[in-house]
Amino acid sequence: MEAVELPTAIKLLSVFVFLYLLAGSSSASTSDLQIVNAERRIDLTSHIVKVFLTLKVENTGKTSVSEILLAFPPTEADHLALVKASVVSGKKKKKAYVPLVVNPKDQTDAPNGAKVFEISLINPLASSETTTLEILYLLTHSLEPFPAEISQSESQLVYYRDSAILLSPYHVKQQTTFIKTPTVKVESFSRVDPVNRAGAKEIKYGPYEDNSPYSFSPIIVHFENNNPFAVVEELLREVEISHWGNVQVTEHYKLAHAVNIYSSVNFFLYRVDYQSRQSSSGVSSFKNLLAKLPPRVHSVYYRDEIGNISTSHLRTDSRKSELEIEPRYPLFGGWKATFIIGYGLPLEDFLFESPDGRRYLNFSFGCPIAETVVDKLTVKVALPEGSQSPSALVPFPVEQSLETKYSYLDIIGRTVVVLEKKNVVPEHNTYFQVYYTFKPIFMVAEPLMLVTAVFLFFVACVAYLHIDLSIRK
């Protein structure tokens, strides 16, 4: 075997040393972090589980750290809708919260299939320093109905599964978990001492001390929750821009009450009992919803496949518009309803011009109906005919595509920007922008077509009246 030349050997040795140091620094940055204190507050008062997590993190290593990892068990990761993080600066009255970037991280060595997210710090955490993070994450479809089927007069009971100990890739010195329920009725909860009732509607787990990384202690809370489990299985929002002064919005809903299945045996008697005793019968059902629409809304309609639904009430003022709608029938567990909401908006409130000359639409992304989960949301923004170079700016990951739509008097069709996202919660109801370029000459295209058509029609009439088509002379 030929000997390797000295310069080549030195280069290979340098590469191996660099990779070794890189791997060592990466593992050290993970092992040298520890959580001094963790306080987790789980809000179960609605069907959307809200978890508020406060972490005090200390760097016990010798090098600075720019990222902090956040772990979720696979059962929670599948239902995770949103993760937000911010760093706390200042104290007491001068306390401020600076938002941080949170991204999923591919970490195959996480035990038991844990899902890991990476929180990027604005300023690296130096050795022996501490920082406090405020984290909010939301879970959907995490409450399991038990029993799965109930009668009309029964309350709905649900399971919530979690861990009494925070799942974390770091050593946790001290931690406490508070679980808040909507009512005082709690059938049972797992006991991982120390555990006690912190109040009429709150359960306290902990404090627990010195938990090793990726510790997990499963718990189950069985409690009453009669709040509406309003889930929109599919929502299609069509936003059509007209430069003649209007933005037309049409929303197609497929709504379901996603909780205990309601036994429909002897439905007629149940219907009479529901109408006569609404306070005690059908407590787990809901019959109205509140849609929060933009201010200055006009031409509002609410209908389904049968026709117009008159059970709606619209309240408007200069700051907001609220549309209270009632389906044709109350929704019990497992029941569904489909309907359409449409309305118009003034163009000047939503269409603006950027400094570079492009026009952009500034509109809300999520579902207008309060406290709903949308399994699949599709937003279609139809731009005026002749628009070019469309692009969308959304503050969270979505699937984007383009398609073409033809409307009245269109020749080349209108460009439609399609945005799709799954597992949407009310916190996604933020503004997004759609940018495009447009030449004003296209605004007179349709009026010219109408004028030309009318002119040709009169020319044809004049020609018809002056032409002799008879065969006699």
* pLDDT for the residue numbered 70: 94
Q: For residue 69, what are its two tokens?
A: 């990892």
* pLDDT for the residue numbered 275: 62
Ordered mean pLDDT values, 10 residues apiece, the chain (473 residues): 44 42 42 90 94 95 92 91 91 83 86 90 92 95 87 84 94 96 93 90 94 93 90 96 93 87 49 59 75 93 89 88 88 87 95 93 94 95 91 94 85 90 94 91 71 87 80 62
Note the helical H segments in 258-315. Answer: 267-276
Q: In whole angstroms, what is the distance from residue 234 CA to residue 254 CA?
A: 5
H-helix or E-strand containing 25?
helix 6-31
Residue 376's closest CA among 424, 425, 334, 339? 424
Q: In whole angstroms, what is the distance from residue 235 CA to residue 260 CA?
A: 23
* pLDDT for the residue numbered 16: 41
Beta strands 321-325 and 312-316: pairing type? antiparallel
* pLDDT for the residue numbered 150: 77
* pLDDT for the residue numbered 21: 40
* pLDDT for the residue numbered 218: 94
Contacts within 8 Å (CB) and 24+ apart, 274-278: 274/152, 274/330
Q: Is 184 helix (H, G, I), strand (E, B) or coil?
A: coil
pLDDT tens by residue, 98-118: 999 999 988 777 888 899 999
* pLDDT for the residue numbered 99: 93
Residue whose token pair is 């030449």: 439
Q: In whole angstroms, what is the distance from residue 292 CA to residue 216 CA?
A: 40
Residue 327 is given by DSSP the state -
Contact 211, 305 (CB under 8 A): no
Partner residues linked to 160 by β-bridges: 143, 221
Q: Is 332 helix (H, G, I), strand (E, B) or coil?
A: coil
Contact 442, 415 (CB under 8 A): no
* pLDDT for the residue numbered 137: 96
H-helix or E-strand containing 452?
helix 445-466
